[in-house]
């Protein structure tokens, strides 16, 4: 049985750390498309970066997320995604482009249970790939909560706890304990 589980939410909320720890429990994991696009663009001198050309960045993130989705659909077991097609489509929708968003209702479905990291200012940090401020991260989180709910997903907010407790929380929610 194939299950495609999304880990999304506020930037800087601990998704990547949680994903890394979940991989140690044997789950297939998929790194965030946005960070991979940024790394690729910085390496090649490209301009499809969220602070230079947000729309081009989102389109590349969507293309990468679609490839990730297709690859995971051909596996068995649980695959956990750090963000998904929905995240990039939600951001594009916020910019006035709904084309992808409407396709997500039926064409690209993930596991119904979606885990979101809430805003957590105590651990939020910017870096070379995350240059936006905390308030922008909170706005993104609120938009994602709304859009995942609108698309019919069961949104589960992760507790603001250490990574080991978060891993146990996810394992229990996925009925893997």
pLDDT single digits (tens) 39-52: 999 999 999 998 99
Residue with tokens 């880990």, as numbered in its chain: 7
Radius of gyration for the alpha carbons in the chain, expressed in angstroms and rounded = 15
Q: Which residue has the higher pLDDT, 145 or 102?
A: 145
Identify the weakest region by mean pLDDT among 8-22, 69-83, 124-138, 157-171.
124-138
Residue 97 confidence class, pLDDT cut points 50, 70, 90: confident
For position 127, what pLDDT does the model report? 65
pLDDT at residue 131 in the model: 60
pLDDT > 70? residue 132: no
Give residue 130's pLDDT: 62
Buried-state track 152-165, b at ≥16 Cβ within 10 A, e below 16: ebebeebeeeeeee
Cα dihedral sign for 63, 65, 68, 74?
negative
68 and 123 Cβ atoms separated by less than 8 Å: no
pTM attached to this predicted model: 0.89
pLDDT of residue 24: 93
Mean pLDDT of 1-30: 90
Read off the pLDDT band of 14 (50, 70, 90): confident
**pLDDT for residue 102 is more than 90:** no
Q: How far apart are CA 162 and CA 145, in angstroms?
A: 22
Q: Can you tell me the distance from the alpha carbon of 49 to that of 42, in angstroms, rounded to the nearest whole number?
A: 8
Q: How confident is the model at residue 149 (pLDDT cuts 50, 70, 90)?
A: very high
């Amino acid at each position: 049985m194939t299950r495609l589980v999304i880990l999304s939410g506020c930037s800087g909320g601990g998704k990547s750390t949680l994903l890394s720890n979940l991989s140690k429990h044997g789950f297939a994991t998929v790194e965030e498309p946005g960070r991979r696009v940024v790394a690729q663009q910085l390496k090649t001198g490209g301009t499809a970066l969220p602070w230079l050309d947000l729309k081009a960045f989102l389109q590349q993130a969507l293309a990468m997320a679609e490839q990730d989705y297709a690859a995971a659909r051909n596996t068995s077991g649980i695959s956990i995604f750090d963000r998904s097609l929905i995240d990039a489509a939600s951001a594009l929708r916020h910019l006035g482009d709904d084309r992808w968003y409407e396709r997500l209702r039926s064409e690209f479905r993930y596991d119904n249970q979606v885990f979101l990291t809430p805003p957590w200012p105590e651990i939020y940090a910017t870096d070379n790939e995350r240059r936006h401020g905390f308030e922008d991260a909170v706005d993104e989180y609120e938009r994602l909560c709304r859009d995942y709910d609108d698309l019919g997903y069961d949104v589960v907010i992760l507790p603001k706890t250490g990574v080991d407790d978060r891993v146990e929380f996810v394992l229990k929610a996925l009925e893997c304990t």
